[in-house]
Amino acid sequence: MIEFNQESRDGVVVLTVKGRLDAVAAPELRPTIDQLVADKQKWVVFDLHELQMIDSSGVGAIVSLFKRLRMIGGDVKIACLTGQPKEIFRLLRLDRAFDIYDALDTAIAKLKK
């Protein structure tokens, strides 16, 4: 099961993902991504402190938003990555593509600069 919560903090969209972001759940994230892009929300932080597991489909959904926001001058930051998701990001070398922060407030502050 997956749950997405979205809130705005100081002009930055914080998208909290809870559960497993896998081939079953990733398509559920796509409408949220489409809406963020349609609304021209350029600054997004993924808060992943409650993400239990991610697979290639989940990674693909995050990368998709990253690419789309970069095309309109925006950016994505990752916050609170732990456990299996952190290991997947490291193995895929996504820790080199994304700015990853231990604290949500730090990620938000970096987007506001």
113, part of any domain: no
62 burial (CB, 10 Å; 0-12 / 13-18 / 19+) is buried
Specify the CATH number for the domain of residue 38: 3.30.750.24
Domain total in the chain? 1
Place of tokens 């809406």: 35
44, part of any domain: yes
Confidence of residue 101 (pLDDT cuts 50, 70, 90): very high
Span 7-49, pLDDT tens digits: 999 899 999 999 999 999 999 998 998 999 899 999 999 999 9
Q: The domain containing residue 37 runs over which residues?
A: 3-106
45, part of any domain: yes
Q: What is the largest CA-CA distance in the chain?
A: 36
| Predicted pLDDT at 112 | 80
Share of the chain above pLDDT 70, in %: 99
Span 44-89, pLDDT tens digits: 999 999 999 999 999 999 999 999 999 999 999 999 999 999 999 9
What separation in angstroms does the CA of 86 have from each of 41, 47, 70?
25, 12, 23
111, part of any domain: no
77, part of any domain: yes
Neighbours of 104 (CB within 10 A): 20
